[in-house]
Amino acid sequence: MAKRFPLLPSQSKSLKFGEASFEILSDFLINLNIGNKDKLSNLSRYSGDFKDKRLLECIFLVTEELRLDPMVGYHAVELLERFMIKHLEDLFSTPHTPAGAAGAHKGNYVDLVYEKLSEKFHLILLSCVQIASKLSLHSAVVDNNTAAQFLHSMGHSISKQTIMDMELMILKALDFRLNTPNPLTYVEILLEVLGHNDSSIPVEHLHHLSRHVLQFTYLQRTAIYDSLLKATTQCLSPSDEQRKTFVSVTEDCMLLGVGVIAVGAYILNVTNWEQVVEELSHITGISVKSISDFTHVTLMHITKNNSPMVTAT
């Protein structure tokens, strides 16, 4: 039996609601809203390309194997996408063919870039998880020794120096701006505000369920957003232009956050589900119909049922 690398001690903590003041919550919500709008106004043509189901599964499995807090996985996804977009845009902004590449490779420059990236992608992915672990208050830190042992267990013999160089490369590419909020942050802050505004809503139970709903939605994001696009456009075959415009919806973390909570509230059988949706709409400015549509589509995929379940009011 193959020798396993030592697992990191679990340091995940239960989130406590109701302890933050109104002023702190207000500041958090304002910052999240600003960050979300800033992201949506600066979308790249590669936005969403690095949230493929298999890639997300890989990151979630790595964080689970290393016993890291789920927040680390979502943060790693954001870091990975931001780095890859920046890296690709830098590589393709001034295309050129490296010396000798023409004789060694029959493909063009783009093919060569993707080939080189594929060779070290496993290291890039783990480095993003490693960086994310260092930013989490409730998770163990993945140091270079643990990273090297983990990669070795996956069949990759990579030196600690190479791991450190990759981490530094990612940090420099992102200009050391690492605290981009991830979807789980949006869900948890919105739940905190929701509980503050209406103490009758069981936010602790909603938090546990919302984590599962978020993971499902993230892993099935392609199918869910495709259904949402078709429902929104009332078209079974949306045009390329419609899909391009819809990227601003697929990358909207605030919509994802309220949608996940609304789905959780419906599953939890919160009797005042409509009130929860209305309160979420009031908090974020997202229409009740948009939240209801997201809930409807997501529930269809969870139950694999095409019949209507919820209706917008």
Render pLDDT for 46-99 as a digit per residue (tens, 0 to 9).
Answer: 888 889 999 999 999 999 999 999 999 999 999 999 999 998 888 877 655 554
Phi-psi map region of 23: left, alpha, beta (phi>0 left; psi -120 to 50 alpha) = alpha
Position 40 in a domain:
no
Digit-coded pLDDT (tens) for 188-199: 999 999 998 888
Position 201 in a domain:
yes
Residue 208 has pLDDT above 60, yes or no: yes
157, 95: one domain:
yes
Position 12 in a domain:
no
Position 110 in a domain:
yes
Q: Judge whether 158 and 248 are in contact, CB under 8 Å.
A: no
Mean pLDDT across 213-221: 95
Mean pLDDT across 297-308: 80
Residue 100 has pLDDT above 60, yes or no: no
Q: Judge whether 225 and 58 are in contact, CB under 8 Å.
A: no
Residue 195, domain extent = 183-303
277, 169: one domain:
no
Position 101 confidence tier, pLDDT thresholds 50, 70, 90: very low
71, 155: one domain:
yes
Q: Amino acid identity, residue 139?
A: S
Q: Judge whether 209 and 268 are in contact, CB under 8 Å.
A: yes
54, 167: one domain:
yes
Number of domain units in the chain: 2
Take residue 309 and report the two structure tokens written for it: 């379940």
Q: Which of 129, 148, 173 is the C-terminal boundary of a domain?
A: 173
Work out the burial of residue 219: count CB atoms within 10 Å of its CB; fewer than 13 is exposed, 13-18 middle, 19 or more buried: middle
pLDDT of the residue at 306: 58
190, 162: one domain:
no
Alpha-carbon distance values, 147 to 63, 66, 152 (Å): 12, 10, 9
90, 200: one domain:
no
231, 282: one domain:
yes
157, 204: one domain:
no
Mean pLDDT estimate for the chain: 85
**pLDDT cut 70: percent of the chain above it:** 86
pLDDT of the residue at 19: 67
Instruction: Give the Cα separation of 124 and 221 in Å (integer).
Output: 23
pLDDT of the residue at 4: 39
Looking from the CA of 301 toward its CB, the CA atoms found within 13 Å total 21
Predicted model pTM = 0.85
Mean pLDDT across 139-166: 89
Q: Which of 123, 150, 173 is the C-terminal boundary of a domain?
A: 173
Q: Which of 145, 173, 201 is the C-terminal boundary of a domain?
A: 173
Position 202 confidence tier, pLDDT thresholds 50, 70, 90: confident
